[in-house]
A = this chain, B = another copy of it.
């Protein structure tokens, strides 16, 4: 069956020529990202367990969950968490299948705890956090989807995914800064917590990056240490950011600090989840790692959804892959937006519509790029299950 693919030209001021652009990223220790990461960890652990036990990935949707903040008393040199973070796991998972029992609750709790330990290494996993599961069983209809489908899975919902390419300069700056902090800066300076929010405003050719970084108290001996580290971060991040752009870059760190009153962003664990900031799945980064109000976005949580037939996951990842692939392979594309819409119950390789909007570069016509774009889209859809496989192998990030 021929797929319903629409490739159209879009006349639009390219993003780099728009005066104002906003880009945000919530790094791994931000409560919302923490929730995303837990959700995705659970889905991957369940997928692995299902595969081992049943030879296939059974129905589950763990794209839910709530991080209820604790209370803490951070202190230079090391404070304490006074009320534990409470993590509610919900969503649904198959717990029995054809006589086999899959301990979904304990698998989920274990996966969540292992993930949290990785992200917040100074958290005392025994005393500072409670992980509670209220996961339910999926509804029969949805589970039947898996039983009856032997080839291409059928969409679990009428929903859509969105993606774009290439990254704008501001987007690249944010991604680069995040990577720099995670891969270069924190390993050297463990005082830099995982809870880091990067907010980037490009106003014409002036880029302002506002960082909100949770400092880890045990690695911070004094207010002077704190101020020195802020300055160091500012300088190094400015330098790194400047590598991505010729525009001017200014970096501000923890602008809400009130130094006179020693009201600063100091934490025990490196995340504000310890002291007042709750987190939810699906409220932070989109699956390209960014929040981009200048770009089309999907509201669907990508993390935690099952990678077999959950459109909110597969189509967001796929739309992003398609856009990036087209931009890489097809000459003359300035910007590109991909939207994929499913119909519940239909095979996921046959979307209700696959829509590509292309802003061509000057001198390139739509006729020149459309056939290639359509072929790439068709190819990805024909091989849609590679997305599933990549997710299971952990090769695709979801937030």
Contacts A212-B158, A341-B201, A345-B256 given; indicate if A106 touches B127 (C-beta within 8 A): yes
A299 touches B (CB below 8 Å):
yes
A275 touches B (CB below 8 Å):
yes
Bound-state Cα–Cα, A70 to B106, Å: 10
Q: How many copies does the complex hold?
A: 4
Smallest CB separation, A106 vs chain B (Å): 5
A160 touches B22 (CB 8 A): yes
Q: Chain A, 317-347, contact with B by CB distance < 8 Å: what is the 0/1 string?
A: 0000000000000000000000101011100
Q: Chain A, 77-118, contact with B by CB distance < 8 Å: what is the 0/1 string?
A: 000111110101011100100000101111101100110000
A293 touches B (CB below 8 Å):
yes
Q: Determine the residue in chain B with the shortest Cβ distance to A204.
A: B6
Smallest CB separation, A295 vs chain B (Å): 7
**Residue in contact with A258 in the complex, picked from B4, B141, B339, CB distance below 8 Å:** B141
B68 touches A82 (CB 8 A): no
A310 touches B (CB below 8 Å):
no
Within 8 A of B (CB), among A279-301: 280-284, 286, 291, 293-299, 301
A8 touches B (CB below 8 Å):
yes
Contacts A158-B197, A160-B293 given; indicate if A101 touches B82 (C-beta within 8 A): yes
A11 touches B (CB below 8 Å):
yes
A376 touches B (CB below 8 Å):
no
A238 touches B (CB below 8 Å):
no
Q: Chain A, 42-53, contact with B by CB distance < 8 Å: what is the 0/1 string?
A: 000000000000
A162 touches B (CB below 8 Å):
yes
Smallest CB separation, A152 vs chain B (Å): 17
Q: Chain A, 185-201, contact with B by CB distance < 8 Å: what is the 0/1 string?
A: 00000000000010101
List B contacts of A127 (CB < 8 A): 106-107, 109-110, 113
List B contacts of A95 (CB < 8 A): 82
Bound-state Cα–Cα, A128 to B103, Å: 10
List B contacts of A110 (CB < 8 A): 124, 126-127
List B contacts of A352 (CB < 8 A): 201, 208
A83 touches B106 (CB 8 A): yes
Contacts A113-B127, A210-B343, A357-B18 given; indicate if A133 touches B293 (C-beta within 8 A): no
Q: Chain A, 378-391, contact with B by CB distance < 8 Å: what is the 0/1 string?
A: 00000000000000
A136 touches B (CB below 8 Å):
yes
A353 touches B20 (CB 8 A): yes
Contacts A284-B299, A293-B297 given; indicate if A18 touches B8 (C-beta within 8 A): yes
Bound-state Cα–Cα, A128 to B388, Å: 29
Smallest CB separation, A196 vs chain B (Å): 12
Chain B CB within 10 A, most for which of A65, A70, A136: A136
**Residue in contact with A162 in the complex, picked from B159, B256, B278, B293, CB distance below 8 Å:** B293
- Provide 27 A-B residue pairs closer than 8 Å at the C-beta atoms, listed in order of the A residue: A6-B203, A8-B19, A11-B13, A20-B355, A22-B339, A69-B92, A69-B136, A70-B136, A71-B136, A82-B104, A82-B106, A83-B136, A84-B106, A86-B132, A92-B278, A106-B128, A109-B130, A110-B124, A113-B126, A113-B127, A138-B276, A139-B275, A158-B255, A162-B293, A208-B352, A291-B299, A295-B296
